[in-house]
Structure 1
């Protein structure tokens, strides 16, 4: 397993929070993207105008950890403290991603099955049987 990182979810102030974190920790954002920048995908609802300028994903390296985050949207609903973070696992292979996803999601609620994404990863999300939210990611572009 390559890395485990915290993933914070905000109700529209993710960019403000991450600019603050950057002012404290330093560094730069390898990626900060808004929902309006997402390509249209089959089976996914269109981004609402209210969500367009919200952050879809941002990452800030801090030492050997990457603090990641994004804003909630109309589809996910607002978050409250307790469900505003995910444990993000980056794996070394697609097989390891499937094993971890299937193992940890057993008895839980998978809400985004493992699948290829527009950002070049194999990715899935679920809530485990204890109510903890997880993200599993295999970055296929780095292994190519």
Structure 2
């Protein structure tokens, strides 16, 4: 086995928008590859057949599903981020929460200095933490 990579399936052609958004919010992050659907292929032309990106060195894969599924993302799987400063945590939480859904507002829940959990505008779940 080479490695394990989290895989995100977007619907409605949102994969590239999500990758651009995430890599703009988290430093040392980048889109590393995109293969798009072409004319007369299974997906809508120009959408993401398969892509890879990194967030702070963690590799992710994603696609634009060419099939409309009856399911989407769930908070039972989330991206967990340990932030270095309270300012970094507050800023990232605020940006990811725009158009999203707050699951646990920023607070001291006893297990860290500050913690928040949310679903972003794409439905992807994030846990942001400021360790003690």
TM-score, normalised with respect to structure 2: 0.43
Greater Rg over alpha carbons, structure? 2
- TM-score, normalised relative to structure 1: 0.40
